[in-house]
């Protein structure tokens, strides 16, 4: 049986092109010519022994084999980068302070901190899960090195816009939603305490659609919000990132609610050129967030 050893350089081109949605952009990011990228993709199909692309209009889409290959490519590149960081930065030391939204506390945080701790055991991490306003205050005052926050339009001195996540109406995973437009009653809204970006987006969308609403439940924490929503006390609005099993996104047209916009996500840094430990942790955060965004946008 022929033993296939995939070229990591080729896999990186493949993964980057799919992430950007365009292999011309991938060529530019990776500093290669488009002809070199085309040659790499041809090599990947030859190594795979099966087509990984199919024609889709004027562009290309992945075959079933291509989708499988993309998943493995990302995993191989992630492990390669983790190994390289561990070998090249064995002596990385220091203290990194990371802040992030509750939405990422149970999904992104364990993965990122676990990978970082394995590669850099001498670095101490202080992680803080808090609301947006506190994240921005702490990173601008130097109390945090990195802060992953929803975008409210505030741009700190050293921030990077990562992408956007769709906002969704959220209801209980079992049973009927807490409200239907045909009921004629004001929509019961479950929300975090003000100020809250998503609460503001929900009330604005409802007002513009001419739908009356009432605050049925207000919580200081995301855990309380999920409990109230799962119990049917009201509908809420979040992104699909980090949703627990007891709640689910609702199709707005099925219950008479308006469509919602997307919400930007930003990584704020306290310094233009962070210390090596903070810079490495930022890389892992960005990798994990891009993965989460790919899942919710798929």
Say whether both 272 and 158 belong to one domain. yes
Residues 6+ apart with CB under 8 A from 206: 187, 189, 212, 213, 257, 258
The pLDDT value recorded for residue 81 is: 78
User: Which of 88, 107, 125 delimits the end of a domain?
Assistant: 88
Say whether both 173 and 186 belong to one domain. yes
The pLDDT value recorded for residue 179 is: 66
The pLDDT value recorded for residue 206 is: 94
Say whether both 256 and 175 belong to one domain. yes
User: Which of 42, 73, 88 delimits the end of a domain?
Assistant: 88
Say whether both 192 and 231 belong to one domain. yes
Full-model pTM:
0.69
Note down pLDDT in tens along the chain; length 298 residues.
Answer: 567 888 899 999 998 888 887 888 888 888 888 899 899 999 999 888 899 988 877 777 889 998 999 989 988 988 887 777 666 655 678 899 999 988 888 778 888 888 888 888 889 999 999 888 899 999 999 999 999 999 887 777 788 888 889 999 999 998 776 666 656 789 899 999 988 999 999 999 999 999 999 999 999 999 999 999 999 999 999 999 889 999 999 988 888 899 999 999 999 998 878 888 898 899 888 888 888 887 777 6
Say whether both 175 and 254 belong to one domain. yes
| Terminal-to-terminal C-alpha distance of the chain | 35
Instruction: Tell me how far apart the alpha carbons of residues 150 and 224 are, in angstroms, rounded to a whole number.
Output: 20
Element (H, E) at 65: helix 64-88
CATH classification at residue 287:
3.40.190.10
Say whether both 216 and 283 belong to one domain. no
The pLDDT value recorded for residue 82 is: 73
Tokens of 69: 């290959």
Question: Domain span at residue 199?
Answer: 168-260
Say whether both 130 and 118 belong to one domain. yes
Element (H, E) at 288: helix 276-297
CATH classification at residue 35:
1.10.10.10
> How would you class 219 by CB atoms within 10 Å of its CB: exposed for 0-12, middle for 13-18, buried for 19 or more?
middle
Residues 6+ apart with CB under 8 A from 155: none
Residue 2 resides in a domain:
no
Contact 10, 26 (CB under 8 A): no
Say whether both 66 and 145 belong to one domain. no
Say whether both 72 and 142 belong to one domain. no
Say whether both 45 and 161 belong to one domain. no
Say whether both 81 and 199 belong to one domain. no
Say whether both 137 and 174 belong to one domain. no
Residue 250 resides in a domain:
yes
Residue 3 resides in a domain:
no
Please tell me what DSSP assigns to residue 18: H
Report the domain count for the chain: 3
Residue 145 resides in a domain:
yes
Residue 1 resides in a domain:
no
User: Which of 88, 109, 133 delimits the end of a domain?
Assistant: 88
């Amino acid at each position: 049986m022929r033993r296939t050893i995939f070229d990591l350089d080729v896999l990186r081109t493949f993964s980057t092109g799919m992430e950007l949605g365009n292999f011309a952009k991938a060529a530019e990011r990776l500093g290669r010519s488009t002809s070199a990228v085309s040659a790499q993709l041809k090599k990947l199909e030859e190594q795979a022994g099966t087509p990984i692309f199919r024609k889709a209009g004027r562009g290309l889409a992945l075959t079933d084999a291509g989708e499988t290959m993309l998943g493995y490519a990302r995993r191989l590149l992630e492990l390669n980068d983790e190994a390289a960081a561990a070998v090249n930065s064995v002596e990385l030391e220091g203290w990194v302070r990371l802040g992030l939204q509750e939405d990422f506390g149970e999904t992104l945080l364990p993965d990122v901190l676990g990978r970082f701790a394995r590669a850099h055991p001498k670095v101490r991490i202080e992680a803080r899960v808090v609301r947006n306003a506190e994240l921005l205050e702490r990173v601008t005052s130097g109390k945090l090195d990195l802060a992953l926050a929803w975008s409210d339009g505030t741009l700190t001195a050293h921030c990077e816009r990562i992408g956007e996540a769709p906002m969704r109406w959220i209801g209980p995973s079992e049973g009927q939603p807490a409200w239907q437009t045909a009921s004629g009653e004001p929509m019961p809204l479950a929300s975090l305490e003000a100020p809250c970006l998503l609460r503001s987006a929900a009330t604005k969308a409802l007002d513009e659609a001419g739908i009356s609403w009432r605050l049925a439940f207000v919580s200081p924490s995301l855990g309380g919000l999920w409990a109230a929503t799962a119990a049917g006390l009201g509908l809420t609005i979040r992104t699909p990132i980090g949703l627990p099993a007891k709640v689910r996104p609702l199709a707005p047209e099925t219950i008479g609610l308006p469509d919602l916009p997307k919400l930007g996500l930003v990584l704020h840094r306290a310094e233009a050129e962070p210390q090596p430990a903070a810079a490495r942790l930022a890389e892992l955060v960005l990798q994990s967030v891009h993965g989460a965004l790919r899942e919710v946008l798929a």
